[in-house]
Chains A and B, each alone.
Chain A
Amino acid sequence: EDQVTQSPEALRLQEGESSSLNCSYTVSGLRGLFWYRQDPGKGPEFLFTLYSAGEEKEKERLKATLTKKESFLHITAPKPEDSATYLCAVQGRGGGADGLTFGKGTHLIIQP
């Protein structure tokens, strides 16, 4: 069974204070690891897909990295508008299923 654990559950930062969110996973053959942003009462917004260890992707103040056991979402000099819940999900090869297994998310608050 695929499992995803995210830490910390919540993180409060000052504007401009860089940090990293962690996503540890176990999966039977990784097809992809995904990062999404979710605002309250809305559906997840796609950020990144990572396919293999060593891969990195960047978008504005966010950078996602991947190893064989975990992924990090680095946020550099965050702004208040970066406040949201960040979700990590994996898609495995077991059983032919395409559905995603999600972690519980990290609730990020950026204070001005």
Chain B
Amino acid sequence: GAVVSQHPSWVICKSGTSVKIECRSLDFQATTMFWYRQFPKQSLMLMATSNEGSKATYEQGVEKDKFLINHASLTLSTLTVTSAHPEDSSFYICSAMAPRGAETQYFGPGTRLLVL
């Protein structure tokens, strides 16, 4: 149980294009999902909290107009990197919070983004 998937696992794009990453909870409903970013040899940094049916909450320093988050259903959240630039190249990982009372977050396998 508690499986989270991401798609795609790898994406290479040209500078200036937009990229959409999907995060799905496969066997449970998640009212809250999270998006993290991880640079090489660094730890995970929280970018935003995604709540089903409402606007995402962004961490300080994260541009909400650049990283668009949509949480359209209880099993799907999407992150769109708009007008991507080389400095956006990173490993993007989503997590989903288990049903109320459990607090634990289960992570997806991550999406490696390379912007040329």
B97 touches A42 (CB 8 A): no
- How many Å lie between the Cα of A100 and that of B44 in the bound state? 9
- How many Å lie between the Cα of A97 and that of B50 in the bound state? 11
Take A41-B112, A43-B93, A46-B2 as given contacts and tell me if A99 and B107 are in contact as well, using a CB distance cutoff of 8 Å: no
8 Å CB contact of B46 from A32, A46, A100, A105: A100
Take A31-B103, A99-B34, A102-B44 as given contacts and tell me if A44 and B112 are in contact as well, using a CB distance cutoff of 8 Å: no
- How many Å lie between the Cα of A109 and that of B57 in the bound state? 37
Chain B stretch 39-78: residues in CB contact (< 8 A) with chain A: 42-46, 49, 57, 59
B107 touches A101 (CB 8 A): no
Residues of B within 8 A of A (CB): 2, 4, 6, 32, 34, 42-46, 49, 57, 59, 91, 93, 95, 97, 103-110, 112
Pairs A–B under 8 Å by Cβ, sample size 19:
A31-B103, A32-B104, A42-B109, A43-B6, A44-B93, A44-B107, A45-B107, A46-B107, A49-B103, A87-B43, A91-B103, A97-B57, A98-B32, A98-B34, A100-B34, A100-B44, A101-B46, A102-B43, A105-B43
